[in-house]
Structure 1
């Protein structure tokens, strides 16, 4: 018997001639590029943050905080209040240990017929050429003062600068002043 011929496997696709319209590495026909949603959300957050900063700057530039302070919203500005100081008293006492105690006292009066909010009292010490040399705040005993009412205040500090010549009392703004 003659030896058997070796069997060969023939792949019909490998043996077929290549077709020009088929590329195994080409994208599929309804091709959509991949999009990164995180990049879009980051860009949107940056735009929103920048516009909020611009809006806040515009509000502060136009003086709206003083308007907001009138409504009692507690945003900056000068504290505009009808409250007045009376019976102001300033003392400089030498303590037994040799330090000097600077004391300020008086009354806050509400001349209106409506209850008022009492802000902190700012004490400023100035030298002979009107430069600020020292300041501090006194917290009032009560934050609300009834119609035609009055409350006492007092505050003291040790060893204030010796070049202080003038004492000024004012109502402090809610933020920063």
Structure 2
């Protein structure tokens, strides 16, 4: 597979996202909120015996944000799978992205209550259309995950920022090459 050079635009976009991810990486979990448990509200075990009396251990806003992220990652994974089944020649090119998304989905589901909604991915008409569709969806998911990360703090924010950064890079790497200007 030929090596692709990163365009100036890719470098600038990555440079714009990395400081935000680094800033989120410096966030500290609130020790009173569960000693590092993503989105923990109550770090102490419940002493009640009935399920109706238990207090939630994960902030519902965190669960909602991570569930939305899990749904987007699932949709991307399905698009990768559909594209590799329909166009086996793309399998090697899409393998890394598929692996990253499987890993991201596993990390998202580590938080109690997070669930992804599966949808059916449409099969693109050509391999180039498949790559363009994946790149477009990667970029859209990166924007959504970065926006969701900005509304959270601690481990959930860092996780979403990491996923957004990976999706930005994947989107740029899979985007069809543009013709260079002669200037």
**TM-score strictly above 0.5:** no
TM-score by length of 2: 0.20
Considering fraction of residues, name the structure with more helix: 2
Larger radius of gyration: 1
Higher relative contact order (CA 8 A, sep 6+): 2
